[in-house]
Structure 1
């Protein structure tokens, strides 16, 4: 049976008043994902663009908003991701993290599941 890796991108709209707390949130989730068998590629925070840069495809692209952060993590397959989602709520360390961030340090988020492009890796 062929299995396909699953990668999840989570895009967070940041609360500018809670950036330090968001960084703590990110560090906690990196540890949890990895403890449950996933690979966390990191949390990526906005930064200023290098000076004198242009958009590669004028008329098609634009500079993104600076109030988003992105997290990327993955699991070997759907079963491993489901196991993580099932076991996470029973884990004492995860329960502490979930309780600590019950009022999340971001305004909103959106989640997208991805798979690697065949032959691109």
Structure 2
């Protein structure tokens, strides 16, 4: 009889953000995105990158980053609201207005 492997329990949470962008402002969004990668990493997360349009839709981008737990993510959100570098990134996008809308989802990994 084959042994059924036990499911592993991972506490990691990955945030998936789907952006709808102004396709004429992709360079501005990329500048904004590049600011966030080290910020998320500095604040305890692991940024997996931004994925910008290449083929297909020209106005959809995705970001993926993980935190050890939802509580750690919530702490990151609290810290980012007070961090001067994060505030500068928010201000840059407020001026650029490259993001038309976004959807945030939280996922858990299924790993081998």
Match of 1:46 in 2: 53
Match of 1:23 in 2: 30
- 1:93-121 Cα distance to aligned partner (Å, 9 max, x none): 1111111212431211111100012xx24
Cα shift at 1:3: 6.4
Cα distance in 1 for residues equivalent to 2:33 and 2:86: 13
After TM superposition, the score normalised by the length of structure 2 is 0.83
Q: Contact 2:10–2:109 at 8 Å: present in 1 too?
A: no
Match of 1:113 in 2: 106
The secondary structure found in structure 1 opposite 2:94 is coil
1:78 matched to 2:70? The reply is yes
Of 14, 17, 21 in structure 2, the residue corresponding to residue 14 of structure 1 is 21
Q: Contact 1:3–1:77 at 8 Å: present in 2 too?
A: no
* Count of residues paired in the alignment: 103
- 1:71-106 Cα distance to aligned partner (Å, 9 max, x none): 000101112111101111111111111112124312
Bigger relative contact order, structure 1 or 2 (CA pairs below 8 A, ≥6 apart): 1
Unaligned runs of 5+ in 1: 49-63
Over 6 Å off, 4+ runs: none
After TM superposition, the score normalised by the length of structure 1 is 0.77
The structure richer in helix per residue is 2
Cα shift at 1:67: 2.2
